[in-house]
Amino acid sequence: MAQVLMVDDSSTVRNEVCDFLKSNGLTVTPAIDGKDGLDKLRADPAIRLVISDVNMPNMDGLTMAEKIRGELKNAAVHVIMLTTENSPAMKERGKAAGIKGWIVKPFNGGAVLATLKKLVTA
Amino acid sequence: MREGNSVVSKVLVLDDADVHFASLKAFCDECGLIGIRPQQKSMSRIMAILKSNVDLGGILLYEHFGARTGGGIELAREIHASRPELPLFLRRDGVANVAGLNEKDAAMFRCAYTLADLQHLRVTLEASIFSRVYPTDLVRGITEMTRASLQTLFANCDIDVETPYLVKDRIIYGEVFTLIAIESHWCRGYMMFQAEEDALMGVVRRGAGEEGEAMTFRELNSVLGETTNLVWGSFKNRYVGHETASLSQTQVPIIINHQRRFISFGSDDPQLCLKYTLRERDYPDAPPTPIYQRFVFNLNWSPDQLRENPSVESLFDSGELELF
């Protein structure tokens, strides 16, 4: 039963973030794109936090966030985007989809760990 | 280097004019050219040099190269057959034109010139190698963001970058390369990273420590892919407007010939090339590893419309969480 779902098509980023979160006491499930992320979220109700890239094949991260609130009707899980994207339009779309926060890559675990832990337990 | 321009180009100089070497070198410096001269003048040696230099802007060639009458013309035929994208500039002793050459041979050269009058060569170089201007601020910005991205992925390395240069070559360096589209209201094209698999694999493995032993080319692909993604994102955030302008849907086929390690985007315009060198701090004896970055704006290039976005990272640095 994972607390965090880590969604990124890049295995380099996925492994880096998963390893960091695991080494700090969190349970993490990886997913390779938005479609895989939705499937994993459906299968594991214990997930409290989704960290997701935006630009991915098959289904992008913002579409996945919209489907989490829409199709899955899951308002409890927190969604944070971890992406190279930084455009106001994308962030507005994310806000409308109910995402909780935005991190511009590269990932700096130390700077965000405390907040991520709070979101997992909130 | 030409005043106000930070971009140079590498040219292969196949010329016997040792007595005029100083003036030829001064001319190259003035024109923003980095000249490469072969140690040996045999055709096989020169073709080997061409094979290992896949980032040239052109070739300056003497008609009687190698102290053989017409030796340069024979060589030009070989070069033109294998690398037709490289512009050839012919130096002659008497006349600054292609008079006396047959039509097919004459067509190989962008111009003919003499050492007594280099102005014609200068104008032709500008028109062929330096036909596209890459704004200095843009080139500097690309260099900064790429070094920062490489540093993130290759934290165990010091990273140097050479002076950016223009290439006419279409040959792919190494065995692994990434390609990503860049779309904006002022430019449309592609960015590439190219590297040698074994060399970069060594850097990735050593950087990962014990885990590195189990790594395969797939991990290398992922690292180079993420490097590309980081630079692409930085480029968009800095240079691509956030307005939702409707973009052209024009496309042209990209042609890749694996046998010849050749890639064409359908445009003859010079590509912007930057060479980064990774040096592993913990392995000073390991050979430096080059990574080439190329930009090909083959679908649109209107740098006069380039506007750098105001920094949105002043409130939140990269890696930090912006809560909504």
Q: What is the DSSP string of B2-18?
A: -TT---EEEEEEE---G
Q: Are B199 and B318 in contact (CB under 8 A)?
A: no
pTM for this model (two decimals):
0.84
| DSSP states of B235-260 | HHHHHS-SS-PPPP------EEETTT
* Among chain B residues, CA nearest to A90: B242
Distance CA A37, CA A28 (A): 12
| Cβ contact, residue pair B236, A87, below 8 Å | yes
Q: Does domain B136-314 have CATH number 3.40.50.10490?
A: no
Partners of residue A83 in chain B, C-beta under 8 Å: 233
Contact A107, A82 (CB under 8 A): yes
Q: Report the chain A residue with the minimal C-alpha distance to residue B218.
A: A11
Query: Distance between the two ends of chain B, CA-based, in angstroms?
Result: 49
User: According to the model, what pLDDT value does residue B133 have?
Assistant: 85
A86: helix, coil or strand?
A: coil
Say whether residue A44 is in contact with chain B using an 8 A CB cutoff. Answer: no
Write out the residues of chain B at the interface with chain A, using a CB-CB cutoff of 8 A: 149, 152-153, 218-219, 222-223, 225-226, 229-230, 232-234, 236-237, 242, 244, 312-313, 316-324
Closest CA to A3 of A65, A47, A51, A58: A47
Inter-chain touch B320–A108, beta carbons under 8 Å: yes
Contact A12 B219 (CB under 8 A): yes
* pLDDT attached to residue B314: 44
Domain with CATH 3.40.1550.10 in chain B: 136-314
Q: How many CB atoms lie within 10 A of CB B245?
A: 10
Which residue's entry shows tokens 């700096």? A108
* DSSP character at residue B173: P
What ipTM does this complex have? 0.82
Cβ contact (<8 Å) for A108 and B225?
Answer: no
For domain B8-128, give the fold.
Rossmann fold (3.40.50)
Among A4, A9, A10, A54, the residue to mutate for chain B (most B Cβ within 10 A): A10
pLDDT along chain B (324 residues), means of 10: 68 84 86 89 87 89 89 93 91 91 93 89 89 87 94 94 90 95 92 97 93 92 96 92 64 92 90 95 95 94 85 57 81
Q: Which domain holds residue A116?
A: 4-121
Rounded Cα distance between A53 and B81, Å, is: 46
For chain A, the residue count is: 122
Does A108 contact B318 at a Cβ distance shorter than 8 Å?
Answer: yes
The CA distance from B237 to the nearest CA of chain A, in Å, is 6
Asked whether the beta carbons of B252 and B298 are under 8 A apart, the reply is yes
Helix boundaries (H) for B6-135: 21-31, 43-52, 71-82, 103-106, 119-128
The 10s digit of each residue's pLDDT in B176-186 is 999 999 998 89
What is the model's pLDDT at position A110? 85
For B20-42, the pLDDT digits (tens) are 778 888 889 999 999 988 888 88
Q: Taking CA atoms, what residue in A is nearest to B317?
A: A104
Residue B321: its pLDDT value, please?
80
Cis preceding-peptide flag for A106 (omega within 30 of 0) = yes
A10 touches chain B (CB under 8 A): yes
Query: How many domains is chain A built from?
Result: 1
Helices H / strands E in chain B, number of each: 8, 14
Distance, in angstroms, between B300 CA and closest chain A CA? Answer: 22
- What gap in Å lies between CA A4 and CA A47, rounded to an integer? 5
In chain B, residues under CATH classification 3.40.50.2300 are 8-128
DSSP B95: -
- Which chain A residues are within 8 Å of B218, Cβ to Cβ? 11
Q: Which amino acid type is present at position B76?
A: A
Q: What are the residues whose beta carbons fall under 8 Å from the beta carbon of A83, sequence distance 6 or more?
A: A53, A54, A55, A61, A102, A103, A104, A105, B233
For residues B225 and A76, the answer to whether their CB atoms sit within 8 Å is no
Residue B319 to residue A108, Cβ atoms within 8 A:
yes
Q: How many helices (H) and strands (E) does chain A have?
A: 5, 5
B223 vs A contacts (CB less than 8 Å)? 12
How distant is the Cα of A6 from the closest Cα of chain B, in angstroms? Answer: 16
Instruction: Note the pLDDT of residue B245.
Output: 53
Q: Interior CA angle at A107 toward A104 and A112, to 5°?
A: 90
Q: Is B236 in contact with A84 (Cβ distance < 8 A)?
A: yes
Which portions of chain A are predicted below pLDDT 70?
1
CB-side neighbour CA atoms (13 Å) of B210: 0
Instruction: Look up the CATH number of the domain holding residue A44.
Output: 3.40.50.2300
